[in-house]
Amino acid sequence: MPTTARPGKIVCVGRNYAEHAKELGNEVPKAPLIFLKPPSAVIGDGEPIRLPAASQQVEFEGEIGVVVGKRLTRASEADARGAVRGLVAVNDVTARDLQKTDGQWTRAKGFDSFCPLGGIAEGAHDLAHLTVVTKVNGEERQRGFSAQMVFSIPMLLSYISNIMTLEPGDLVATGTPSGVGKLAPGDVVEVEIEGISRVSNPVIEGA
Shortest gap between Cβ of 204 and Mg ion (angstroms)? Answer: 22
Q: Pick one of 45, 47, 59, 61: the residue that binds Mg ion (CB under 5 A).
A: 61
CA distance 126 to 51: 35
Residue 188 Cβ vs Mg ion, minimum distance, rounded to whole Å:
20
User: Quick one: which of 152, 176, 197, 201 contacts Mg ion (CB under 5 A)?
Assistant: 176
Query: Bridge-partner residues for 86, per DSSP?
Result: 67, 122
CB-nearest residue to Mg ion: 92
| Region of 21-29, 57-65, 79-87, 139-147 interacting with Mg ion (CB under 5 A) | 57-65
- The yes or no reply on residue 92 touching Mg ion (CB under 5 A) is yes
Nearest distance from C-beta of residue 173 to Mg ion, angstroms: 6
CA–CA dist 24, 7 (Å, integer): 29
Beta strands in 74-138 (DSSP E): 84-91, 94-95, 115-116, 121-122, 131-136
Interaction between residue 59 and Mg ion (CB under 5 A): no
CB of 44 to Mg ion, least distance (A): 19
What whole-number distance in Å separates Cα of residue 142 and Cα of residue 133?
5
Residue 81: CB minimum distance to Mg ion, A: 22
Residues 16-55 contacting Mg ion, CB under 5 A: none
**Collapsing DSSP states into helix, strand and coil, what is residue 177?**
coil
Q: Pick between residue 73 and residue 106 the one whose CB is nearest to Mg ion.
A: 106
**Nearest residue to 93 (alpha-carbon basis) of 139, 153, 134, 132:** 134
Beta bridge partners of 187: none
Contact residues toward Mg ion (CB under 5 A) are: 61, 92, 176
